[in-house]
Amino acid sequence: MTKFLQRASVSRASALVLAAAIAVAIPQAAMAQKKSAEKGPTYKFSKPVQSLVAQAQQKQNAGDHAGALELLKQADALPEKNSDDVYIINMLTLNSAINLKDNALIEKSLEGALTSGRLTREDEVKFRRNLGAMAMQRNDLNKAVSEFEKLIAMDPSDAQLVVEVAELQRRQKQNDKAIASMQQAIAIQEKGGQKADESWYRRTLAIAYDSKLPAQTTAASEALVKAYPNATNWRDVLVIYRDGNKLDDQANLDVLRLMRANNALAGERDYAEYAETATIRGFPGEAKAVLDEGVAKGAIKSTAPFVKELLAQVNPKIAADKASLAGLEKEAAASKTGKAAMATADAQLGYGNYAKAAELYKMALTKGGVDAATVNTRLGFALGKTGDKAGAEAALGTVTAPPRDQLAKYYRIWLGNPA
């Protein structure tokens, strides 16, 4: 298995907003009622509150934040405060709390200012982000999620914030919700005409895979290779599929073929397994082609013992095997079942004779007596290699029983994004 989980990560840097970075305009209590509309909002404080907060501001200007807080507590204890009173008391409290580095009081004043209803939209966003970040710092994930969800409600197009919520949900072990949030973030990006980052797709798959959620793992796998059909992603997806299903040699060989078609074979293990499986199934030409390709790409060494051993087995057989194909095709045509046609088609497929292989696979299906799902999978592959996308889609679309149904879906994705 590749280092899939280690590579899958999503940055949460934008959530780590420090409360000390808050910067808001705090009106001078004595002058607030005289501000003009052009210069900003006007405030109307009750007289008892105005007197106390004016004194508190003087204390703050002198650097006496403890003294300022005592006066603000008195103001907060007054009955019948209006929304402007609540706003100014909490804003000034916030100012002193930041200077005193009192996180608990910072949070309390942020929440109090929000209840006033006098914050600008920009400041509300800033305050809620800080509340969410501070909740995360003290591991209050429920509070953090609540604040971020309110931000999402304010701006449903903030895909990055939805990703951050997904990470919090994952930490809460609410993995179904985390996956749904990641998918929501991807959808937001797509709706906005932007492609979601590859790491978002990989993170969705990692959460689903770690959580042992088969349906979500499959959906995330398909989404990943549709959006980013690179070799690494194809290998991860096909390894996950193979490890999650009990495949026989025939199905495993088709998985390896799809890996090869997407340049997703990696290292000795993949090439050795593919070449050995092809050799066992009686396809010496395919085994040699895989080994030669691995050597040419530098993925394996020609001097490796397994390479030398396998080539020693298949090289002497290739000439005779090729020479027999014409006769085998005649026998297949005369046979009452499609077994001979399928076997000959498999050999032609291994030699890269895709048009001939497709012709023989069609014959095998017509005659019957073969596993239709296996034949149609390979027919779809052969037709895809010849450029007949419509024919390939039709063949693969008939494969509806597990576990090959999902493999056929991966082949159809490959058709739309051939390497």
What is the four-CA torsion angle of 385, 390, 392, 395, rounded to 10 degrees? -170
Domain that holds residue 403: 229-416
Asked whether residue 301 is domain-assigned, the answer is yes
* 383 plus 244 within the same structural domain: yes
In whole angstroms, what is the distance from residue 398 CA to residue 395 CA? 6
Q: Please tell me the predicted confidence (pLDDT) of residue 36.
A: 46
Q: Which of 80, 99, 120 is the last residue of a domain?
A: 120
| C-beta of residue 98 within 8 angstroms of C-beta of residue 22 | yes
Contact between 8 and 199 under an 8 Å Cβ cutoff? The reply is yes
Region 193-212 average pLDDT: 97
Owner of token pair 């210069």? 39
d(Cα 133, Cα 150) in Å, to the nearest integer?
14
Residue where the block lists tokens 């003087």:
58
* Same domain assignment for residues 233 and 368: yes
Please check the confidence at residue 311 and state whether its pLDDT lies above 60: yes
236 shares a domain with 110: no
Q: Does residue 338 lie within any of the structural domains?
A: yes
In a domain, 195, yes or no: no
> Residues near 73 by Cβ (< 8 Å), separated by ≥ 6?
none
Q: Does the structure show a pLDDT above 80 at 29?
A: no
pLDDT band, residue 188 (cuts 50/70/90): very high
pLDDT band at 4 (very low <50, low <70, confident <90, very high): very low
Q: Rounded to an integer, what is the distance from CA 213 to the centroid of its chain?
A: 15
Predicted confidence at residue 418, as pLDDT, reads 77
Of 79, 98, 120, the position where a domain reaches its end is 120
Q: Given pLDDT bands bounded at 50, 70 and 90, which one contains residue 22?
A: low
**Can you give the pLDDT at residue 152?**
92
- Does residue 183 fall inside a structural domain? no
pLDDT attached to residue 417:
86
Torsion (CA) 353, 359, 363, 369 in degrees, nearest 10: 40
Statement to judge: residues 107 and 255 lie in one domain: no
What pLDDT does 41 receive? 74
Q: In whole angstroms, give the CA distance from residue 91 to residue 93.
A: 5
Please identify, among 120, 140, 166, the residue that sits at the C-terminal boundary of a domain: 120
| pLDDT 10s digits, 240-257 | 999 999 899 999 999 999
In a domain, 132, yes or no: no
Higher-pLDDT residue of 197 and 26 is 197
pTM: 0.81
Specify the number of domains making up the chain. 2
In a domain, 194, yes or no: no
CA distance 342 to 335: 11
Is 42 a member of any domain?
yes
